[in-house]
Amino acid sequence: MKILIDVRKLLHYEEVYLEEDHKYTFEPFHLGAEEVKFISPVHLHAGLTRIKSGILLDGHIDTVVEVTCSRCLERTELPLDVDIHEVFSIPGMEETFDGFDTVFTIGADEKIDIEPALNENIIVNIPVKPLCSENCLGICPVCGKNRNLEKCNCEEEKVDPRLEVLKKLKDSL
């Protein structure tokens, strides 16, 4: 999917600033083995500014994604509110953007595809180990029950006697 914005007026200095405020629908994707689904559209509110070597996009995106909790393995909704700062270079001027991890290029049709920039910003803001809540109890390592939903009577693993001193220290803190 491409999300194209016509920047012809910026490139020809007919305007020096454009504002974008749109909602985009994204398809689910895989992040490693994790499936990430979009619960709400990706809302972009951004300004596009003409600079000497291209266009600067500064703005904010927000959406809600569905991911798997890393403790209890239940699907959970995760709101994402992300500030974005990206550059789109005039072809051949990419080296003028020191300090940016990624420099996107303006197309020959004088349009920019912001979809890769949005994807990149969403991906880097999904936690490596997402949680349904900070208080998630996770899954019992003995019986496999979700401790958030039901209590189990399993005994915790015995502590290695060599580490017993550390357990006592931890309990005293």
- CB distance 48 to 77 below 8 Å: no
Q: Does 103 lie in the same domain as 150?
A: no
- CB distance 146 to 72 below 8 Å: yes
Q: Does 128 lie in the same domain as 65?
A: yes
Q: Does 20 lie in the same domain as 102?
A: yes
- Which amino acid belongs to residue 90? I
Segment 124-141 shows an average pLDDT of: 94
Q: Does 82 lie in the same domain as 34?
A: yes
Q: What is the pLDDT of residues 12-23, one digit of tens each?
A: 999 999 999 999
Q: What is the pLDDT of residues 87-126, one digit of tens each?
A: 999 988 888 888 888 999 999 999 999 999 999 999 999 9
Instruction: State how beta strands 75-89 and 54-68 pair.
Output: antiparallel
Token code pair at residue 149? 């939903």
What span, in angstroms and rounded, lies between the C-alpha atoms of 63 and 65? 7
Q: Does 144 lie in the same domain as 70?
A: no
Q: What is the pTM of this model?
A: 0.79
Q: Does 45 lie in the same domain as 99?
A: yes
Segment 161-169 shows an average pLDDT of: 80
- 43 has pLDDT over 90: yes
Q: Does 46 lie in the same domain as 110?
A: yes
Q: Does 155 lie in the same domain as 104?
A: no
Domain total for the chain? 2
Task: Give residue 86's domain range.
Answer: 4-136
Which residues is 62 bridged to in the sheet?
Answer: 43, 81
Instruction: Give the pLDDT confidence score for residue 157 in this predicted structure.
Output: 65
